[in-house]
Amino acid sequence: MSFRRFSVKYYRGKCACLAAAAFLLSVLTACGGAGENTGKAMQLIQALDYQGALAELDAAEEKRENPRLVQRTRGIAYMGLTDYENAVACFQAALAGSNGLVQNIDFDLNYYLAAAFTKKGEFGKAEEIYTAILALRPNEKDAYFLRGNARMTLSDYDGAIADFETAIKLAPKDYDRLIEIYQVLDYYGCGNVGQEYLRAALNAGDKQMSKSASGRIYYYLGEYQKAYIDLEASKEKGGLESYLYLGKAYEATGDYNYAINIYNSYLEKNQGSSEMYNQLGLCQMTKGEYAAALEAFQAGIALGDIGVMQALSFNEITAYEYLGDFAQAKALMETYMRNYPDDVNAKREYDFLSTR
């Protein structure tokens, strides 16, 4: 059983892009005009209780709370249940409730709808939605990035490259996005092209580029010595990202002990980070320190960060399996499969655990 890193994946069956994931999470924390039951539904979605959220939304509908927000939140709940057909229907119903004037919520809903089509594997429809967004907002860099993702999935390499280059042109100093573009290209076997973008950013001579950004770029270029230097210099100002990538750079060269020291150093000085606990646990797993890894994963889970919860939950199960506690691993896998029913790999692992 393999363990999982917390990273954005760009492939069939997973959320197609970081920006779409951000949109899906943003509704959990704030949504203007949401009524009481809609707000409760958002909280339940955050707790992965999608059925409970749907019940609250039925109550919200009876109380005539904002119908567009009810449908949007219902669509998100259905996505959590991997019922993408109903999710699409809800987002489309919310869009149909427009008064004819294009508002921010209409763009928001279109991003949701495109994410739902992506989850359904209908990448052509997702591409069409991003194209429609760009027709009204030609400088929408997120839409170019997301359409590039869709086009890569559709094997439209030239179209994807054109979109990624436009996204870079619109925000040449958005190095986080640049790294995301590299990750997409690398996933599809075009990492060399992505590295050309990374190196071009370094060669542009931006004196305002942070050491954290340059260190992460060096990491993806495989130039770990340079990554060490810049990330070490940016640890205090760069915070989580600098510590995280500094540790990963040392992991890449096989110095797991020093990497663990870096992760623990961050956790001792700062409030807990689920992502850092996950990386710490992964590093300890690589070393065969399964009990310590389990503690790290559980500490991360206790923080309740929904963005990292799936990876942490899966890795917790993995740690129990390596520790030989197959009964606990099986029990946790049953819960995991209820929370993440579209994870086909989990089903295979559950079948294996059932034989132990």
Q: How far apart are CA 70 and CA 64, in angstroms?
A: 9
DSSP line for 261-304? HHHHHHHHHSS--HHHHHHHHHHHHHTT-HHHHHHHHHHHHHTT
**Token digits for 356?**
């132990």
In this prediction, residue 104 carries a pLDDT of 92
Helix-strand-coil percent breakdown of the chain, rounded to 5?
Answer: 75, 0, 25
Look at residue 104 and give its three-state secondary structure.
Answer: helix
DSSP line for 207-262? TT--HHHHHHHHHHHT-HHHHHHHHHHTHHHHTHHHHHHHHHHHHHTT-HHHHHHH
Place of tokens 């294009």: 102
In this prediction, residue 18 carries a pLDDT of 36
In this prediction, residue 297 carries a pLDDT of 98
In this prediction, residue 13 carries a pLDDT of 29
Query: Cα 67 vs. chain centroid, distance in angstroms?
Result: 28
Look up the pTM and report it: 0.85
Contact criterion met (CB below 8 Å) for 115 and 79 = yes
In this prediction, residue 326 carries a pLDDT of 92
In this prediction, residue 10 carries a pLDDT of 30
Q: How far apart are CA 271 and CA 108, in angstroms?
A: 32
In this prediction, residue 30 carries a pLDDT of 41
Residue 57 belongs to what H/E stretch?
helix 50-62
Nearest to 152 by CA among 182, 174, 113: 182
| b (16+ CB within 10 A) / e for 44-58 | bbbebbbebbbbbbe
Query: Cα 120 vs. chain centroid, distance in angstroms?
Result: 17
Q: How far apart are CA 136 and CA 132, in angstroms?
A: 7
In this prediction, residue 340 carries a pLDDT of 85
Is CATH 1.25.40 correct for 12-121?
yes
In this prediction, residue 99 carries a pLDDT of 86
Contact criterion met (CB below 8 Å) for 144 and 134 = yes
- The identity of residue 186, as a single letter, is D
| b (16+ CB within 10 A) / e for 121-132 | ebbebbbebbee
Per-10-residue mean pLDDT of the chain, 356 residues long, equals 45 34 41 81 91 97 95 95 94 93 93 96 97 96 97 97 98 96 97 97 93 97 97 87 96 97 94 94 97 98 90 95 94 90 79 74
